[in-house]
Amino acid sequence: MRKPSVTVRVPATTANLGPGLDTLGVALKLHNQISIRETDAPTVERVDAMRGNPGALSMTQEAMDTFFRRSKVKPHGAQVEVKGEVPTTGGLGSSVTVRLGIVFALNELDGRPLSDTALLEVVSELEHRPDNVAPALFGGFVVSGLIDGAIRYRRFNVPPSLKFVVCVPDFAVSTEKARALLPRQVSLGDAVENLNRVALITSVFATGDYSLLRGLFDDRFHQPYRKKLVPMLDDVIAAGVEAGALGGWLSGSGPALICITEQKEKAVAEAMANVFAKQRIRCDTHILIADNDGTRVKRA
């Protein structure tokens, strides 16, 4: 007898947007598809190209165990398949697409015991922060944070006129190593500069006057330290801005770099890629718009 199955589509995300460390995020129209089929066996099985990867199986098991613990649903076995377009090491929320996809699909499969807010909390527990989870779940531009032990967020739609030019170089950056480079303390001046830029970026996405984004993405909290892992960071962003972009940032912990623009997106992509080409580094470029839908069940 055929067992129940659910397939969900989860968007990639870009987090931080420069100064908004662990706070700002945008969902992008680049997706992974996660399918779960309930099985008679009590075990978890990956049936995709990552099935032999111990890390992939561990992530899958952890997501399922956390869902069952938080939802109080009786645990059951499952086959899990992950397919899609999101690079696994690009800083575009690949791990979120898998964890959120599994938890969201299980929630659908088992009668929706968790609310949207609970889904956000469960996956943020797995990710240790909500900045990628909230936009992946709800879509659009999202500002989020942990307030008095609960996640609070606000989201805004992003129009298709705003393009996100993504440049993913052909090397990996460890999220753990990138976070280990961050300082434990920052100066008051650096904190004030990041604070005013985050407030201004949020106000722009709330009101829609995107031309005011120019000059707001410089950062003093994490990008100066992560340049050790992505040394061409400043040059790639500068090239994109010179070609017409409003600004740019390191996506998450990298190595993907993103420039945001309302014009000349192809020229921006070419200029960014040329910086890597001069260093003999291959890169993939994507011209994307925001995904305002978030995670959705894929209908047959």
pLDDT mean by block of 10 residues, the chain; 300 residues? 80 97 97 92 79 80 94 92 88 94 95 95 94 97 94 97 96 86 92 96 96 95 92 95 97 94 97 94 95 89
For 195, the enclosing helix (H) or strand (E) is helix 188-207
Q: What is the dihedral of CA 95, 98, 104, 108, to 10 degrees?
A: -170
Mapped onto helix, strand or coil, the DSSP state of residue 46 is strand
Residue pair 276/282 in contact (Cβ under 8 Å)? The answer is: yes
Peptide bond into 19 cis (omega under 30): no
Predicted confidence at residue 216, as pLDDT, reads 97
Predicted confidence at residue 300, as pLDDT, reads 55
Predicted confidence at residue 165, as pLDDT, reads 98
Helices (H), 34-171: 54-71, 94-109, 116-127, 133-138
Predicted confidence at residue 272, as pLDDT, reads 97
Provide the 8-state DSSP code for 47. -
Task: Name the nearest CA neighbour of 92 among 169, 22, 139, 27.
Answer: 27
Complete domains list, the chain, with CATH: 5-157+291-297 (3.30.230.10), 163-288 (3.30.70.890)
What single-letter amino acid sits at 228? K
Residue pair 114/71 in contact (Cβ under 8 Å)? The answer is: yes
Residues in the chain: 300
Q: Cα dist. 62→30, 51, 171, 233, 257 in Å?
A: 25, 15, 27, 34, 30
Dist. CA 287–CA 293, nearest whole Å: 18
Predicted confidence at residue 127, as pLDDT, reads 93
Predicted confidence at residue 173, as pLDDT, reads 86
Global pTM reads: 0.93
Q: How many CA atoms lie within 13 A of 50 on its CB side?
A: 18
Predicted confidence at residue 1, as pLDDT, reads 39
Dist. CA 220–CA 65, nearest whole Å: 38
Task: Name the nearest CA neighbour of 117 among 71, 79, 152.
Answer: 152
Measured CA angle at 105 (ends 99, 110), to 5 deg: 125
Residue pair 175/252 in contact (Cβ under 8 Å)? The answer is: yes
Cβ-based neighbour number of residue 237 at 10 Å: 25
